[in-house]
Structure 1
């Protein structure tokens, strides 16, 4: 099973052409969903507030393993995400809510399942050094990704453990930050995305795969990178080569971008 450490959130996305709106979000959700849809059992390791406590019972989300989620009194993480017409993130507003307890919850989960496979969404408010250090202590199999507004801080926090990661997922801007602080030859596998342009995979610094996403008119870009990540991890775990996994992951992410956003499901009554 893939344990995905990160946030599940209520998001408001905005674009200059009036696309966007309120939707379900969070890297832990999108990575887990994509992995599950690609045939891998996946569990979000997250903290849900009372406003999203009903998600495990929501139609379409029951394909996930919810055994690693913690429910807490208070509100779930909320993001306001401002994009330009090219789909580049230009501003973020955040209320972390009950996700302030994510680090303690993640550490408990890792200690209970030290031989698990993990993906760590390296984003605030997670204490990345504590979580990656614990995974390394247990010699656990793990991968990581970043979020551009906090990437420089999080890359520095994660730096001692990055050579131990099976796969790193970054966009081109994050990759430039990464190259400033670590020799690419020390990294086992890096997946570098660039929006609608080619995504590449480098193993120990050598490019081994490249794929251009099929063109689809964009409706919602928030979550596209996480969708690529979850699909890629699932396919690689099933024995696919980097070339095969990347081709499928970029195609799935492109379809995601063209699809309606994921609505926040209403709680069931009765």
Structure 2
């Protein structure tokens, strides 16, 4: 079974809500997509750069279900994001500190050169040079999917527009889907997964809806940051294993629903020498 390599950040995150939910946690799209895909049965590796504060993660208990062989280490702090949400779980502010993640593009390009026939998912978020990475993947003949992050989505969609038709799957939320439709002809894209929080998700293929799913009703979620990454990782794992869009989406929506009600990932303590 071919491994899924996820290009993106692994970070220290701080989430805040008006009712005092949230807190410090382990995050980053590369990690959360990878964990979800691994739980769904897919071999997976985050292609990321870890700073000296997180370079112990490959040895941490609870994270050994993913393959850490594609990561790089660098002196300095890992990426850090402060994410502020309203009570309904809508993102209202982001304060990034990219740290050593500013070396991600160089690391990702070198990794693709070493593994040109791999299966990739690209988390199209700053500070990654999305255009450079997608161009390398296309010229390498690799299969790839991609997602976005609303604060930078318009710039990233425009930067990735020349390669969108080559993607196996594009993940967007409802607001990002509107941006996508304003920039490219979405009827030309192979597969788009559109999420809309508790209102559900749908799959579109070349302009035609092929699947839809709604999560079960639940009380106020504990944490929404990372729900989209969990859905994407789960969906990809099932699709890569031959599942239909409807089956993959149902599993992905269920996984995201479980994620928002579960405790956040703690940052593992560094082991003492």
Q: Which residue of 1 aligns with 2:110?
A: 108
Distance across 1 between alignment mates of 2:13 and 2:19: 18
Alpha-carbon displacement from aligned partner over 1:125-184 (angstroms, at most 9, x marks no partner): 000000000000011100000000000000000000000000000000000000011111
Alpha-carbon displacement from aligned partner over 1:23-53 (angstroms, at most 9, x marks no partner): 0000000000000000000000000000000
Moved over 4 A (4+): none
Alpha-carbon displacement from aligned partner over 1:223-258 (angstroms, at most 9, x marks no partner): 000000000000001111000000000000000000
Residue in structure 1 matching 2:125, options 123, 126, 132: 123
Alpha-carbon displacement from aligned partner over 1:41-97 (angstroms, at most 9, x marks no partner): 000000000000000011110111000000000000000000001100000000000
Q: Which residue of 1 aligns with 2:98?
A: 96
Q: Secondary structure at the match of 1:269?
A: coil
Q: Which residue of 1 aligns with 2:33?
A: 31
- Structure 2 unaligned residues grouped into runs of 5+: none
Q: CA deviation at 1:216?
A: 2.6
Q: How many residues align?
A: 270
Q: Which residue of 2 aligns with 1:221?
A: 224
Distance across 2 between alignment mates of 1:245 and 1:269: 42
Q: Which residue of 2 aligns with 1:157?
A: 159
Distance across 2 between alignment mates of 1:190 and 1:89: 22
**CA RMSD, 1 decimal:** 0.5
Q: Which residue of 2 aligns with 1:15?
A: 17
Matched, 1:186 2:188: yes
- Structure 1 unaligned residues grouped into runs of 5+: none
Distance across 2 between alignment mates of 1:95 and 1:215: 35
Deviates more, 1:121-130 or 1:209-218: 209-218
Q: Secondary structure at the match of 1:98?
A: helix
Distance across 2 between alignment mates of 1:204 and 1:213: 25
Matched, 1:168 2:170: yes
Contact 1:102–1:126 (Cα < 8 Å) also in 2: yes
Alpha-carbon displacement from aligned partner over 1:184-228 (angstroms, at most 9, x marks no partner): 111000000001002000000100000001123300001000000
Q: Secondary structure at the match of 1:50?
A: coil
TM-score (norm 2): 0.98
Q: Which residue of 1 aligns with 2:60?
A: 58
Q: How does 1:178-257 map to 2 (within 5 A)?
A: 178-217=180-219, 218-257=221-260
Contact 1:215–1:254 (Cα < 8 Å) also in 2: no
TM-score (norm 1): 0.99
Distance across 1 between alignment mates of 2:45 and 2:53: 20
